[in-house]
Amino acid sequence: MHEMSIVSALVEQVRAFVPVDATLLSVRIEVGALEHLDDDVLRSLFGLLTEGTPLAGAGLAVERVPLRVRCAACGTEHAPPDPAALFCPSCGVARPEILAGSGVTLSSIEVDVPEGGE
């Protein structure tokens, strides 16, 4: 499953950022409009993959990044309302270079670090 490989890579990435004695509170990711990913599936997989690890219990917030492209023919930047309709509004050519709206990025994590040594 596509979601599974994305979330497991994400969990690995997050694990590298969280200090040993800290508690992970939440993770925020940005998901491009071109990615056909279901927020609920991402969240439940995240819960599943972190279960029984120090990351367990953290929330996953999914933020959608709208698609933004630049026309390779005339340079016009536009935001196609529909990812299937990538024709340039200025010249009608469909040669979009994707500027934003693809891929999955880890945007922030929130941790609770205990103060003072115990």
Identify which of residues 5 and 90 has a Cβ nearer to Zn ion in the complex: 90
CB of 80 to Zn ion, least distance (A): 12
| Location of structure tokens 């925020």 | 28
CB of 86 to Zn ion, least distance (A): 11
CB of 97 to Zn ion, least distance (A): 11
Identify which of residues 43 and 78 has a Cβ nearer to Zn ion in the complex: 78
CB of 94 to Zn ion, least distance (A): 9
Identify which of residues 43 and 70 has a Cβ nearer to Zn ion in the complex: 70
Angle, helices 2-17 vs 39-50, to 10°: value is 50
Which positions lie near Zn ion, rule CB under 5 A?
A: 71, 73-74, 76, 88, 90-91
Identify which of residues 63 and 97 has a Cβ nearer to Zn ion in the complex: 97
Tokens of 111: 């941790």
| Location of structure tokens 């939440």 | 26
